[in-house]
């Protein structure tokens, strides 16, 4: 079975499941760190309101969260269809 375009794009240049899993872990940890770091920097160091910090943190961390979700879904598709 041929890979769907969203899987091919999600795993572009990743040849093994181990590489894909490392990207998934990095994106997940990165999303959490960006979320927390943005709140800390904006509220403590820049003096922004907590609401503004949360909105910005959700936006920035959410982008990495979407990438992590995409990796996870692509890995799951590959596992289900034995394409590794």
Would you kindly state where each structural domain of the chain is located, as residue ranges? 16-79
The pLDDT score that the predictor gives to residue 32 is: 98
The pLDDT score that the predictor gives to residue 1 is: 80
Please state, in angstroms and rounded to a whole number, the distance separating the CA atoms of residues 70 and 33. Answer: 18
Provide the whole-model pTM: 0.86
Q: Which positions ≥6 away from 45 have C-beta within 8 Å?
A: none
Which segments of the chain have a pLDDT < 50? Answer: none
């Amino acid at each position: 079975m041929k890979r769907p375009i969203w899987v091919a794009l999600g795993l572009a240049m990743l040849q093994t499941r181990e590489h894909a899993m490392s990207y998934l872990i990095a994106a997940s940890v990165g999303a959490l760190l960006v979320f927390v770091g943005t709140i800390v920097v904006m509220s403590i160091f820049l003096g922004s309101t907590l609401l503004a910090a949360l909105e910005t943190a959700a936006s920035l961390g959410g982008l990495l969260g979407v990438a992590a979700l995409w990796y996870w879904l692509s890995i799951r598709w590959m596992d289900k269809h034995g394409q590794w």
